[in-house]
Amino acid sequence: MSQDILDQITVAIGSHRQWKQRLQAAIDTGQSTFSVSEICVDNRCDFGRWLYRLPPASRSSAHWREVQRLHACFHQEAGGVLELALRGDKAGAQERMTLGGSFAAASAHLTGAMMKWKSDPVVAAG
């Protein structure tokens, strides 16, 4: 399972980077193939489904709890950016995306927590 955790975290970091690109496209065009309600839910993306399917012992770890909390926050922030973009508030959406903005902060915190989980010697040892 440890290798699975390492692999899934690596995939998730890349996947969440792609969300930045999707949100930027929504800001630029005012359109998205995703709805705000879809994006706000943290258990519909591949990483979220995997995260919630981990065995109870893994879900009781401090790393899991922190990543789950930050992952949910990331999705809420992404939904907030998309909502602004779809309403045509490009400036408001872009402000959340830029360094120091709420989405950028949520993304950075999540990535940091995932990297910390990934570098845990217990996880890496397998």
Check if CATH label 3.40.50.1100 holds for domain 2-120.
Answer: no
State mean pLDDT over 52-70: 91
Q: What is the DSSP letter of 120?
A: -
Long-range contacts of 38-41 (CB under 8 A, 24+ apart): 39/75, 39/78, 39/79, 39/82, 40/75, 40/76, 40/78, 40/79, 41/75
Provide the Cα torsion 13, 17, 20, 22; round to 10°. Answer: -110
Question: Is residue 34 classed as helix, strand or coil in its secondary structure?
Answer: coil
Residue 87 host element (H or E): helix 62-87
Decide if pLDDT at 36 tops 60.
yes
Which has more confidence, 122 or 27?
A: 27
Decide if pLDDT at 47 tops 90.
no
